Amino acid sequence: MSESPESLMTPADHPTSGSAGPAFVDDDAITYNADGSVSRGGLLNLLVAHSESGTAVVDVDHNIVLFNKRAVELGLLRDILADPVAEAVSEVFATGVDRHFDFVPPISAMGFVSTGRTMPRTVENVRCVVRLAEHGTSRYALVYGDDDSTNLRVEATRRDFAANVSHELKTPLGAISLMTEAMLESHDDPQAVEHFGHRVLREATRMSTLINELIGLSRLQDGRIEQFSATGVDALIDDALSSASVSAEVAQIELIRDEPGGLVVPGDRTLLLTALNNLIVNAVNHSQSGEVVSVSHRLVDMAEGPMVAIAVTDRGIGIAAADQQRVFERFFRVDKARSRATGGTGLGLAIVKHVAASHGGHIGLWSKPGTGSTFTLYIPIDRSPELEEDD
């Protein structure tokens, strides 16, 4: 038995409208055949109701004939069409040409009424298209909207990243240029040439480190690393402390560690060593002369399973609560002057975060201004029989 076009969408009252409201398409609007199977119209309703796209049908008088829940979530309509959507609908009816546009949904006032505070916007941008549909003498505007917030954030991140990289590279390049000019003007003064030569070398090393860290970070962001090998945590800590010993000695910082535990984790040893070394150097750079930086480790049970927690603790300046969520962002520095003085690139903790994520782990932070900080690297432990026997 064939179905008429009108039967494909079963009208259901809008929760906030009267009985004469538009057809709200949800699971209750699904129709069935006599044998109990879902009808063709029911399948169409199912498709519209569960679509990731917000969908609405509007007639020439701007009455909303049909819509789904997603259209409301994206802010395309409430009792009436949102103003930018209504303008696009009018233009399509007038010209017959599809209209593509981006739409920023209004912030709901519901949260303010109930809590006294404005609710955060969950959808930052909606990519919309309005098309004309004609059947006989009937004309309708079909409105589609998709959440484009992720692409908007990615594009904003890309712009910020490009701006930050340009700024970070300009600083050492500008310093190298100025000091090279100073060297040329002081060619008859060996002491000045030596002084500026060391400064040029330091800035060149800083720029080289920045480029290498950018390359390493881009590789980490490509995805999870598949080739892991058994890595002894004790040897990892010893090597990281050895690598940071020169920086600690210059800053007159004592490095200590806890007793060996014989734990083994599956991972890329080079990346894990880089991450742990970054944490230790970061602790050294934010400590005062004569203080101690300690490294400890233990086996912990997490929701994801057993993990090795490697903690790096300093008694330095600490990090304010407002900055603790941002310290893992690329190029973010709590103290920019101190970071530049120590040669920091602003990428060390971002690399640690991505190394942890690529191993199925994460990075934790406890800090209190004036007391110090503890960064904890969590790496899942392989509890295979072979590794348990080694332990």
- CB neighbourhood size of 334 (10 A): 17
Residue 115: per-residue pLDDT = 43
Distance between CA atoms of 88 and 354, rounded to whole angstroms?
A: 43
The neighbouring-strand residues paired with 146 are 127
Q: How far is CA 380 from CA 236, 290, 305, in A?
A: 15, 34, 7
DSSP-derived secondary structure for 244-304: HHHHHHHTT-EEEE------EEEE-HHHHHHHHHHHHHHHHHTS-TT-EEEEEEEEEEETT
The neighbouring-strand residues paired with 296 are 311
Q: At 315, phi and psi to the nearest 5?
A: -110, 40
**In terms of Cα–Cα distance, which of 98, 91, 87 is closest to 131?**
98
Residue 202: per-residue pLDDT = 76
Residue 13: per-residue pLDDT = 39
Using CB atoms within 10 A of its CB, is residue 121 exposed (0-12), middle (13-18) or buried (19+)?
middle
Q: How far is CA 188 from CA 191, 192, 247, 291, 352, in A?
A: 9, 9, 34, 43, 46
Q: In what side-by-side order are the strands of the sheet with 138-147?
A: 23-25, 64-68, 54-59, 138-147, 126-135, 99-103
The percent helix, strand, coil of the chain (3-state, each to 5) is 45, 25, 35
Residue 118: per-residue pLDDT = 45
Q: Is the pTM of this model over 0.85?
A: no
**In terms of Cα–Cα distance, which of 249, 329, 235 is closest to 281?**
249
- What stretches in the chain show pLDDT beneath 50? 1-20, 109-116, 118-119, 337-342, 383-391
